[in-house]
Structure formats: C-alpha cells, structure tokens
Amino acid sequence: MVSGQSRHSRSSVSSLFSFWLVGFFLFGLSAWAAPEGAKTNSPTQTEEGRYRSALLFANVVELIRDAYLDPEKTDYDKMTYAALRGLLSSLDPHSQFLDPENYKLIRTETEGQFGGLGISIGLVENQLTINVPIEGGPAYRAGLLPGDRILKIEGHGTQKLTLGEAIRKLRGRPGAPVQLTIYRPSDAKMMEVSVVREMIQVPTIQDVGLISESTARGEKIGYLRITQFGERTDKEFDVAITRLEKEGATALILDLRDNPGGLVDAAVQVVSRFVPNGTLVVATEGRKATVGRVEYLSRTTARRVHWPTVVLVNGNTASAAEIVAGALQDLGKAVLLGETTFGKGSVQTVQRVDPSVTQDVGVRLTTAHYTTPSRRKIHGVGIEPDITARMTRAEEQTIFSQRSPGLKKPDDPVAEIQDEPLDRAVDLLRGWKVVARRSDPTR
C-alpha cells in the first residue's frame, strides 16, 4: 500500500513536470524552435514534435529521479543544466550553455586584462589545446608552446570540460599558481607545469624594424608582427609604420603567424590602412533574417600603406587575423605566404534566456559566419596562401620561442635559426623591387 502511494505521488509529480516542460517548449521557446526563415513542417506537425521531445525529456528526468542510486544528483536544475550543456556543446565547439555563474562571469569580464596564464586555447580533436601563449606572459615564460594539450588542471581531467569551463578554471586570482598536466604531441612528451596567474595586458604588435641587411641584401624591407587584435592595434600599427618610414622601408612583411585573432573592429581598422575608404573588408552571413548579411567597410584613416606587402600565415593564424589575411588577398593588396590558416570564422552571440522562465542563464550560440570580400567562407576552411611554405612543428616552435631571426644582428646566435617562410617573403619582395626598378620609365 505504501509502495502504491509512493508510485502515485511520483506519477503526479511527473505529470506536473511534464505539463510544465511541454508548456515551456510550446510557448516559452517557440521563437527559438521555429526561427524566422527556417524550413518547418505544418504547425500541427511542429507542435507534435515539440510535445514528443518535451515529454521524452520529462519522462527520462522522472525515471532518473525515481531510480537513480544517488538522489543528490537528481536535482531538477542540475539535470536540466547538464542536459543543456550537452545540447549546446553538441552543436559546435564554440556554442555553450551559460549557467548563472558562467553567465555572470561573461557579463562582468573586463576587456583587455584579466587574471590568467596568458594563453589562447581551443578544442582540437576534442582535446583542450593551447593555440598561442601570449609572448612574455606566464605560460610563455613557463615554456608552453602552440599545440601543447592540457590534459589536467589541478589534477582533474579536462576531457569533459567545455571551453568556457576550462577558461574559468585557468583564470583566477593573480599570484595564485595552477598546476597543469601537459602533453606535447611533437615530442610525445608528458610534463607537469606550475604556472602563476598574472594580470594579463595583451600586447598587439612586436618586432618592428627593417629586415637585417644580410638577409634583405640591400633592400629596405620593413617587418612587423601582430600578435593579436586589440583595442589599440590600429594606433600601434600607425606608430610602427611611421617608424618604418623613417628607417627608409619600401616594402613590408606583415607577420600574422600564431595570431589567434581578437577584435573584428581592430582587423577592419588594419585593413583600412591598405584600401580606400568604404571598401568591403568582411561580411557576416547568418541563417535568420534578423542575423542576415552584415558588411564591414574600411574607415577613413590618415595613415596609408602603399608598399608591396607579403603577409605570413600558418595553421595558428585564426579569427580576426584570417579576416585581415583574406581581405588583403582578395583586394590585391598583399601576397599571402605560408600555410592554410586555422579556419575560425564563426560569430558567437551571448543571449539571455527569458528570465520569466528561469533564473539568470544564457547561451553562447553560433549565429553567423564570416566571409571575405569575394564571399569566401573562412570557418572550417581557412585561408589558403598564394605561395606555400611549410615548416615542421619543431621548427615552428623554435621560431615561436626565439622570434624574428630576420631582425637579429648577424652575430646573434638566434640569427642562425632557419625561417623559410620569412626568407621566401624577402626573396619575393626583392624580386618585386628589382622588376619595378627595371620597368621604371624614368630610369
């Protein structure tokens, strides 16, 4: 008799929960379930599908609450959040469910500096991977390199973490150490590394100067490297170009290797230095009419670059850096040299879930993708260089850890490092200048 009452009670709860959840699906999420412009079946079929899905979810939740061994894990919110994390992460590596803590973190983050390790991370083959350590940052000084995989954070495995959860665990109070278990595929090497968190001021431009005379062989070839695109990149770029002009530069190598991206607006500003005002730089194309095609045009700028330009790219060139590379290539303002870029060209927007339905939670959702001026898609494809120059992973790591041999003095041992893409860029620009001089009618 007691058993029968218990089952009747659970059945009542299940019915109430099912009724609430079905209503939630049918009314609370109707705009999401049938987005504008999407192909859908008849209204009746759509409502039946929503009802079946909601009822299935509700029945599974109640089955878990009724039979699972540990009742502490069967809280409605915990199970719902876990289900939504799985749902969003199944879409792509960049979409994410934001529980109240993560949603608050997203809203209160300060731009430009944070307590962290100074690394850009991503998911490569579903493994947490370092894209690029910020030069001079704590991770860089600890010897971490692009391609290193983070297997554990403070002894806990990272395999089931979303990208957002991993970032939250890596960030923290400046001065506090974090223990990482690292696997380096290029050496098949495991290592334990302790990195102390710092307030990270993100640099943008490094290694500005003329290529060494021994490498350039008489030509005045300027070089600058953008490490990532931030709020001050355009101003720093102008300062760098002014310096190169004063040093007599007549050609430019723009190094975007290992650049993880950053602000799209900063990318547009840099391209604006090469093209006339109002030129299409990049566009976003979405699925819904409300997130349709949006075009980003170049801006008016006092500083212009008219030099022959080569842009260096590799497999770690991503996001905003790909926007710059793709635009300069499409618009005929630069030759791309190196390897096909990473292919991160999607747009994520953070949207708050209706607060009348639940507490402060949100979703980070991929809603559009970037296209170059010729409408080439970047995401999942990358930008293919005009001239291919490959390097081994070990060579890339050596170049990354001891940057810019072309700018070093001849007696500096770092100058002995072979940087084939840089050497080929110099050869290309030297040939370009020779041809220009020979075809000059004033000679």
Output the DSSP codes for 6-34.
HHHHHHHHHHHHHHHHHHIIIIITHHHHS
At 141, list the tokens.
Answer: 């000084």
319, 333, 404, 433: which is the annotated catalytic residue? Answer: 319
Q: Give the domain ranges of the chain.
A: 2-74, 113-199, 205-438
Phi, psi of 88 (to 5 degrees): -70, -40
Amino acid 52: pLDDT: 87
**What kind and span of H or E run contains 215?**
helix 213-216
Amino acid 29: pLDDT: 41
- Give the separation between CA 118 and CA 116, rounded to whole angstroms: 6
Amino acid 278: pLDDT: 97
β-strand pairing of 205-210 with 189-196: unpaired
Bridge partners of 120? Answer: 132
Q: Which fold has domain 113-199?
A: Pdz3 Domain (2.30.42)
Quickly count: other Cβ atoms within 10 Å of residue 212's Cβ. Answer: 20
At 66, list the tokens.
Answer: 């009724």
- Give the separation between CA 439 and CA 443, rounded to whole angstroms: 8
330, 333, 404, 433: which is the annotated catalytic residue? Answer: 330
Question: Quick check: is 319 catalytic?
Answer: yes
- Give the separation between CA 42 and CA 254, rounded to whole angstroms: 54
CA 180 to chain centre: 22
Bridge partners of 156? Answer: 153
- Give the separation between CA 439 and CA 235, rounded to whole angstroms: 35
- Give the separation between CA 125 and CA 123, rounded to whole angstroms: 6
Bridge partners of 115? Answer: 199
From the DSSP assignment, how many helices (H) and strands (E) are in the chain? 13, 19
Pick the closest to residue 185 from 145, 139, 132 (CA basis).
Answer: 145
Amino acid 167: pLDDT: 86
CATH of 205-438 given 3.40.50.150, 3.10.180.10, 3.40.50.300, 3.90.226.10: 3.90.226.10
3-state secondary structure of 357: coil
pLDDT in tens, the chain (443 residues): 333 433 334 444 444 444 444 444 434 443 343 444 444 455 556 778 888 888 899 899 999 999 999 988 999 888 999 999 999 989 988 888 988 887 876 665 434 456 789 888 888 888 999 987 887 789 989 999 989 999 999 999 999 888 878 988 998 888 999 999 999 998 899 999 999 999 876 668 988 999 988 888 889 999 999 988 988 899 999 999 999 999 999 999 999 998 988 889 999 999 999 999 999 999 999 887 656 789 999 999 989 999 999 999 999 999 999 999 999 999 999 999 999 999 999 988 888 887 766 678 889 888 899 999 999 999 999 999 999 998 887 777 777 766 555 565 555 555 556 789 999 999 999 998 777 766 666 65
3-state secondary structure of 417: coil
Pick the closest to residue 135 from 230, 211, 206 (CA basis).
Answer: 206
Same fold, 113-199 and 205-438: no
Residue type present at position 244: L
β-strand pairing of 251-255 with 221-226: parallel
Amino acid 106: pLDDT: 66
333, 344, 408, 433: which is the annotated catalytic residue? Answer: 344
